[in-house]
Structure formats: structure tokens, C-alpha cells
Amino acid sequence: MNDEQRLALIHRVIIPDVDYPKEHAVLVTDKRLLFIRQEKVRKTLALRGEMRWGSEIASPVVAKSLSDYEDQTIESLSSAAGNFTIATSSISELILLKGKHKYHVHQIELKYRTDSNRKKSVVLYMVPLGTYVKPMRATQSREAVLRDYAVASFKILEGVLPADAKRSELPVAGTNEETPSTTRKAERTMDEVSQRASKRPTSAPIWHFEEMLQVPFVRAKSEFLAIREGEFSPKTAPLVLSGLKIFDKVKRVVIQGGPTVFRIGFFYDHYNMTVTASIDEQCRVTFDAPWWYRGEYALAPTDGGGTRLVLDVYNKASKLSAWALPLVGLETEKRKQFAAMGRLVKAWKNESRPESR
């Protein structure tokens, strides 16, 4: 018996409809494309908007994966209300269409034949969920994220086409390599991050924390500055991150960039956050979070052979947004930061902790 193999899942496409746009995940097997209807959580106007300019990044909906459907049979999924299938052997043409709108939402058109040999087609608007887009925006433009999602989905579908099916991929600037203007933009962005980090605040810090560590300065410095690219769990993330108040309840950390300027994505259950980090020659690590938070950690040797750890927190909110700071609850935020500093100090005192993370 030749079992049907589940190959991949495209977590979201939007299909136009008379009533309102329908959201589906596409389960790709070696025999069919199974379109699984997703629950409607947005208004029709919002969905039509996403078909034009892309995902709503603020959306908390989590993208589905293959594991979410592993307990359900192909047959039960195929027969569920709102779902439909297209046999891969019936597909005659696959077309990738570049979006005409400002944010370059791409479309994939599938042409196929029904069981009664009628020609049909379906257009898929390739709009990933905001929880998929947001962490990637740390290093890529919105247009690049949407483009790459569409191209990757096209490649998945192309892999199950019959040998005689036509494939049409419209040339999209930057599909295989970044254009000079995009490359310059990325370099300029990282330069701007570095320049912002090198500018010391002119105002006094709103909070000042100081701890004495019974750790040799050389060791403390090597561990504190050990930030590198990669994906980490809370237990394996660079030591310095545990001193951030936003580190609490984080599920996953992704670090990009280096060696002195980084973009760090913090992933939680229902949302993500991106901060920038920089390291200077004075053993100072600066974290810039969205809106108002700027934290500067500094290390210095003590006469007793230990290390002084200092954290200064600055309010970098603009005049236009500073009015909303009381709504944040700065006293609560201060307590969170104090607890995070305690977590960092405890990590250093933990003798079972590896010498280098």
C-alpha cells in the first residue's frame, strides 16, 4: 500500500470570494493540495486590505504547522466543511504573479482540470501572518519578506507538479539576489543603528542599578560580551540578555548581525519584539527597544579583583509620544528591571552555569 506523504504546509493564502476573502492553509502531499479553511478572525475590509498591502503585523494569530494536523487523517480533512482539494496530477500550469500594489503582495495562479475534465483556476494571494512577518522585519524590508514567502511557496508547489505542467515565474527584482539599492538600504540601516548607539544620551538616566560581582573582570567581560548570531532557547541565550526585563517569559531568541551591532528578536506565546544591541570599546552594551527604552550596561574592574556591573536606563521617547509613558506604569517597569538584574547576578553566581554560553 502506497501511503500518501505529507510534504509541507503553506500556513496562509487568501482566496477571493463573492462573500468575503477566504483564508486557507495549504497542506501539500505527494498526491494533492489540501486547502484547509482557517477561522475568520478579521473583518472583511481588513482581509481585502491585506490582499493589497500585506499582513497586519499586530495580529496575534499564530501560524499553523504540519504538526497541528498530524492527528487528523487526509480523508477527514478533505471532507471537512470549507475545505477542498486539487489533485497534483490535474494541475496544468503554475504561475507566480508579482503584485501591482505598493507593498508587492504576490499571487500564485493554479490552472487545473476537474474530474469532469473542465478547466478551472484558482488565484492565491500569498499573505503570511503578522507573527511570521514581524521577526523577519528586523533584517528585511516588508517587500522582501512578502516576496520570499511567495517564492518559497511557489517552489513547494512546483515540486509536486506533473512533468508536463507549465511553470511561469515572472521576474521579480531581488528574487535571487538583492538589488544594489536594497543592499545599500540594508547597509545604511545598520549604519544608522550603530550611529544611534554611539550617541550618548544628553539627559540623566531615569533608573540606575549597580551590583558588585565576585567574578574576575576578564571572565566577566568575555562572558558579558559574548553575543553571537544564532537561534537560542532562554537557557542557551547570551548571558547579558537575562538582565533585560523583556527576557521574562521569552520562548525563543534569534540574533542577527555582528560583530558590534545586532538585531535581536524575542519570541513569546502571542507576540514578538525586536531590539537592537551594540557593543563599544568601553565594555558597554547598549540595548535600544521600540519607543522609550534604552538600557546601557557597563562593566569595570574593582580593587578587590571583582567586577562592578552598572545599568543605566534612559527614556528616549520623542516629545510626540512621551505623553503616553504614564500609561506604561514606570514603577512596575522599574520593579521588572530590578528583578531582571537580580536574575543576571544569580546567573553569574550559579556555579553550575557553563563558563561560556
- The architecture that CATH gives domain 6-177 is Roll (2.30)
Of 199-203, 249-253, 292-296, give the lowest mean pLDDT range. 199-203
Q: What pLDDT, on the 0 to 100 scale, is given for residue 282?
A: 80
Q: Is the pLDDT of residue 352 over 50?
A: no
Whether 273 and 266 have beta carbons less than 8 Å apart is answered as yes
Q: Is the pLDDT of residue 95 over 50?
A: yes
Q: What pLDDT, on the 0 to 100 scale, is given for residue 139?
A: 75
DSSP 8-state secondary structure symbol assigned to residue 268:
-
Q: How confident is the model at residue 187 (pLDDT cuts 50, 70, 90)?
A: very low
CA pair distance 302, 298, nearest whole angstrom: 13
pLDDT (tens digit, 9 = 90+) per residue, 14-62? 998 888 899 999 999 999 999 999 988 878 888 888 887 776 655 677 8
Percent of the chain topping pLDDT 70: 83
pLDDT (tens digit, 9 = 90+) per residue, 221-240? 888 888 888 888 888 888 88
Q: Which fold has domain 205-349?
A: Alpha-D-Glucose-1,6-Bisphosphate; Chain A, domain 4 (3.30.530)
CA pair distance 117, 322, nearest whole angstrom: 64
Of 35-39, 185-189, 275-279, give the lowest mean pLDDT range. 185-189
Average pLDDT of the segment spanning 253-262: 84
DSSP-assigned beta bridge partners for residue 301: 307
Q: What pLDDT, on the 0 to 100 scale, is given for residue 184?
A: 43
Q: What pLDDT, on the 0 to 100 scale, is given for residue 69?
A: 92
Q: Write down the mean pLDDT value for the chain.
A: 81
Domain limits, CATH 3.30.530.20, in the chain: 205-349
Q: Is the pLDDT of residue 84 over 90?
A: yes
Q: What is the largest CA-CA distance in the chain?
A: 87
Q: What pLDDT, on the 0 to 100 scale, is given for residue 176?
A: 39
Q: What pLDDT, on the 0 to 100 scale, is given for residue 161?
A: 92
Domain limits, CATH 2.30.29, in the chain: 6-177
The larger pLDDT score, comparing residue 155 to residue 103, is at 155
CA pair distance 92, 133, nearest whole angstrom: 31
DSSP-assigned beta bridge partners for residue 299: 309
Which phi and psi (to 5°) does residue 152 adopt? -65, -40
Grid-cell match 521617547, residue found:
317
